[in-house]
Structure 1
């Protein structure tokens, strides 16, 4: 089974579980997530691998992290994630990518990401639920962080944080590869 097959199966299994635990019908989850009912059915039947944006919308609607949708195993208090088990969620032919390193559900969903943006590449994100906070640390290159249409330059060694309830994007306008780490804190579902 390929990595993509494992990801698709994990999403299907965990989406069904979390939707049932929340008591959401297909229509209710579709409305909360802004995703079609048909897309949710296809994901639950492991017939499609949704985009990162769709996965984030569904995770937000369920009040869980992407990590939880990918793997629901509850282990010991210390959970080690080998590099081989980090999940690559987005990539481009130029070599840019995002990699979900680790996540947690206590006290609410919390995720840690590794990013690489090649020169000229960018990634846009829809707004997340209110209260979602992103923290970014750039270790190489210069990131152009766009939050609600306003550009911010984040140079190597610098960090930034913002409430991600508005549209935002990450861009590499420079000639050097951008390497960064991002933490996402998601408020629990009320």
Structure 2
């Protein structure tokens, strides 16, 4: 959790946000933020997504160290799950592409009866979901879609949405999250002041 603590502090400082303001933007309590930044909190997937949305960064920017250059090979079984369902389903964030509008790749495995709900992401966020096993129930803005193995869906994720394992067999799907370009950091007033003195 030290990586998360450092990453949240750095992103908050870059945007010039107080703990109170970040709590308002994210819906995460100030107490939880203080614990997280002190390295004593243990945020769940929902909290990480809320913080990433509020800080305009991908989730990986909070949970991973900076990627090395070159080819980055990822094995799902070497990555700790960010979510565990009641019946031992898992979700892992495999990687996030670099650049101003990153793309996250998630590996979801769910068992019958498991579900996960997500609050709306920032405007401009889109998701794609491709079912690799079983049947996944995708709900977007209150409408449910049953997606069998081999089916894919693309949707705007700036509305409430969720995923569930439909039927009696486990399901698995790969999900990409296409993030909008991050807003520019606010200008540093000290830089402007110094430039004016020259």
Give the structure-2-normalised TM-score.
0.86
**Deviation readout 1:63-89 (Å, 9 max, x if unpaired):** 111111012414214323344542311
The counterpart of 2:14, out of the listed 21, 29, 51, is 21
- In the TM superposition, 1:27-106 aligns within 5 A as 27-106=20-99
Corresponding residue for 1:157?
150
Larger radius of gyration: 2
1:172 is paired with a residue of what secondary structure?
strand
The counterpart of 1:175, out of the listed 137, 161, 168, is 168
Corresponding residue for 1:185?
178
The structure-2 alpha-carbon separation of the partners of 1:156 and 1:82, relative to structure 1 and needing over 3 Å to count, comes to: closer
Q: Over aligned residues, Cα RMSD in angstroms? A: 1.5
Contact 1:63/1:109 (CA < 8 Å) preserved in 2?
Answer: no
Distance in 2 (alpha carbons) for counterparts of 1:84 and 1:138: 19
- TM-superposed deviation, 1:109: 2.8
Give the structure-1-normalised TM-score.
0.90
Unaligned runs of 5+ in 1: 1-7
**Residue correspondences, number:** 183
Unaligned runs of 5+ in 2: 184-198
